[in-house]
Structure 1
Amino acid sequence: MDQINWGIIGCGDVTEVKSGPAFNKVPHSALVAVMRRDAQKADDYARRHQVPAWYTDADALINDPNVNAVYVATPPDSHADYAIRAMRAGKPVYVEKPMALNAAECALMNQVSRETGVPLFVAFYRRALPYFLRVKQLIDDGAIGAIRMVNVTLNWQPDDREVVAGRGWRVSPVISGGGLFHDLASHQFDLLEFMLGPIKTASGIARNQARLYEADDVVVATFAFESGVVGTGSWCFTVNKEQRMEHTQLIGSKGKITFSFFENFIITVDTASGTETISVPFPEHVQQPLIELIVNALRGGPDSPSTGETGARSSRILDWITIAKS
């Protein structure tokens, strides 16, 4: 492919700033069509973002001859269906995270990608963001020596939009695959593997304590990397705002790196020499760096750092931690 003409299935909130505008800002890339079941909302999105065509039917977008790549930005329960339809139509797919409801669906998507020879990518865009690449560089450069341990902490207060009668797809397991843990920890485990290598084992306890919605609201986990690094994590989504906390610590033989997945742009490096604070802001459209790498890959350049194969690993880890619930 020389020019990558994208069609978006599901032009909701994530596409407004994080991803949608980036398709027109990356060289050799354009957003040419969008699909949403609500015709008024599809038309509105197309007009605001200067998109030439809009549809209310996914197959119509997939079969549009002007579309040669598809971005699936719906909730996870339809990721596998839409991605498989697009791949069977010969069109490369970029799918939102979590990649699907569970590891089994991810495996099926990757199987279709192999059978058709059509590329599949996943929106784990932190693999291309300068902030997280800086953390990886610190690790690779031995800034804190050999990595011994990882600790992930995320304590957030309930979101009013999701606790009123359990509204919001992220807290509906049949739509999201789990709860807020699935939505957020998928990013965390994917990036930890990108920085530290494959996770070999993981287990945990998942509970619904507050009964504000159907999904689990507290999760604790332990995990181990093939390299020998071990990790722990805790996620609680029902604290008050004064207890809000989110950071990840990498403990090394010569120091510690503290960074955030979601809350700020600061990296702190503590060693015997003192404390160094590094600030790396996010770009306006956080998915743009990864989208550019995917466009380059589709045009014959180097492979993307985030593919269906890497994306499926994160879902498998989530399954390991939450399925037993004991």
Structure 2
Amino acid sequence: MKKIADNEIRWGVLGVGNVCEVKSAPAMQLIPNSKIVAVMRRNGEKVKDYASRHQISKWYTHAQELINDPEVNAIYIATPPNVHLELCTLAAKAGKPVYVEKPMARTFSECQKMIEICEQYNVPLYVAYYRRRLPHFMKIKELIDSDAIGSVRTVHIDLKQALLPGLVAGSDENWRIDPEIAGGGYFFDLASHQLDLLDFFFGPITQASGYCSNQGKAYRAEDIVVGNFVFENGVLGTGNWCFTSAEIATIDQIIIYGNKGKISFETFGKGEFLMEVDGKKTERFSFELPKHIQQPLIETIIGDLLGTDNCPSTGVSGARTNWVMDELTKRRIG
């Protein structure tokens, strides 16, 4: 894949909404050999305001204009998923590497097309599954790989939220529950992080089956998903996601069971987790999380583009998560 030759990543950001305020884009201004040179949003007043507040000199209201800017040599797509394929295609044809928000697209088929177009034009493709580089999750992977809980047998996801999930980032309009924009409902927005994280821990999921339904009837997308899956390495897993639970039932928990112990953690909480091993005291691990939560992953992208590092979240790995979500939600009931 083509790398950046002039030792500086000059980002153009498409869709400067909520995620770009703290989570992602500001980190691009802090990392050595990286800066944002242009931003885009269809609303001229809002994109001008964003550019002014973040000291960015150029702004656009049309994606193609930003992509054509000769100063821009890498593209960050921070829009909802329904335009990821279209914008990725435009960026790839312009020969500019792509960093795209998660989920990678609405469907596995769209992900495949994104991979193909980037391969055709020889540009790298990265996906914003930034938990792969957060310190507590890297520590969990280290413990798994070192057999700290023995041979892993099963992993179980339990995510239940009330009708307005506290885990969802604020936005101008709630596109996350419009299947035509998001691909599905909150499951696609939140469970994608969890499934990608398990891919990071254990490798690809090769079999998946599930059921979904819209029980609450509060919006068109599914609001409950249950399923099971098998990893390439033989680990078995289950998931139970519900987004119309009682507030008292709210839970965010993943438990990994080995033949000597277990590890339990929240996907969306603090940088903490517990490890319990037979015959030993329970250990609590705690790590400070970065202010700009995507910064560690973005650092690997910049390193990858400059030839000094490797990014662990690519189009290929991101597409695998979409495949699993497609498999878990294709059997609808109710």
TM-score (normalizing by structure 2):
0.94
* Partner in structure 2 of residue 89 of structure 1: 94
Measured in 2, the distance between the counterparts of 1:221 and 1:147 equals 19
Choose from 235, 256, 281 the match for 1:229.
235
Choose from 44, 48, 54 the match for 1:43.
48
Measured in 2, the distance between the counterparts of 1:119 and 1:160 equals 34
AA in 1 matched with 2:133: A
Q: Structure 2 matches for 1:102-251, cutoff 5 A?
A: 102-159=107-164, 168-251=174-257
Over the aligned positions, Cα root-mean-square deviation in angstroms equals 1.3
Please say if residues 163 and 245 of structure 2, whose CA atoms lie closer than 8 Å, have aligned partners that are also in contact. Answer: yes
Identify which range, 113-122 or 264-273, moves more after superposition.
264-273
Measured in 2, the distance between the counterparts of 1:12 and 1:258 equals 33
1:181-204 deviation per Cα after TM superposition (whole angstroms, max 9, x unaligned) = 011111111110111111110010
The answer for unaligned runs of 5 or more in structure 2 is none
1:24-68 deviation per Cα after TM superposition (whole angstroms, max 9, x unaligned) = 011100011100000000000000111110000000000001100
Measured in 1, the distance between the counterparts of 2:254 and 2:218 equals 27
Percent identity over the alignment is: 48
Distance 1:160 1:283, change over 3 A: closer
Please say if residues 157 and 255 of structure 2, whose CA atoms lie closer than 8 Å, have aligned partners that are also in contact. Answer: yes
1:47-96 deviation per Cα after TM superposition (whole angstroms, max 9, x unaligned) = 01111100000000000011000000000000010011001100000000
The offset of 1:228, in angstroms, is 1.0
Secondary structure of 1:42's match? helix
Measured in 2, the distance between the counterparts of 1:173 and 1:208 equals 12
Measured in 2, the distance between the counterparts of 1:44 and 1:122 equals 27
Secondary structure of 1:61's match? helix
Measured in 2, the distance between the counterparts of 1:70 and 1:285 equals 19
Measured in 1, the distance between the counterparts of 2:260 and 2:203 equals 20
* Partner in structure 1 of residue 83 of structure 2: 78
Q: How many residues align?
A: 322
AA in 2 matched with 1:81: E
Measured in 2, the distance between the counterparts of 1:31 and 1:159 equals 33
Choose from 292, 316, 322 the match for 2:323.
316
Measured in 1, the distance between the counterparts of 2:245 and 2:128 equals 29
Distance 1:285 1:160, change over 3 A: closer
Secondary structure of 2:91's match? helix
TM-score (normalizing by structure 1):
0.97
* Partner in structure 2 of residue 24 of structure 1: 29
Please say if residues 130 and 296 of structure 2, whose CA atoms lie closer than 8 Å, have aligned partners that are also in contact. Answer: yes
Secondary structure of 1:31's match? strand
Measured in 2, the distance between the counterparts of 1:297 and 1:259 equals 30
Choose from 286, 293, 301 the match for 1:294.
301
Measured in 1, the distance between the counterparts of 2:122 and 2:192 equals 26
AA in 1 matched with 2:329: T
The answer for unaligned runs of 5 or more in structure 1 is none
Measured in 1, the distance between the counterparts of 2:147 and 2:187 equals 31
The offset of 1:160, in angstroms, is 8.0
Secondary structure of 1:117's match? coil
Matched, 1:274 2:275: no
AA in 1 matched with 2:320: R
The offset of 1:263, in angstroms, is 2.3
AA in 1 matched with 2:115: N
The offset of 1:240, in angstroms, is 2.1
The offset of 1:242, in angstroms, is 1.5
* Partner in structure 2 of residue 58 of structure 1: 63
Measured in 1, the distance between the counterparts of 2:133 and 2:238 equals 25
AA in 1 matched with 2:237: G
Measured in 1, the distance between the counterparts of 2:332 and 2:138 equals 34
1:226-253 deviation per Cα after TM superposition (whole angstroms, max 9, x unaligned) = 1111001100111122111111000000
Secondary structure of 1:21's match? helix
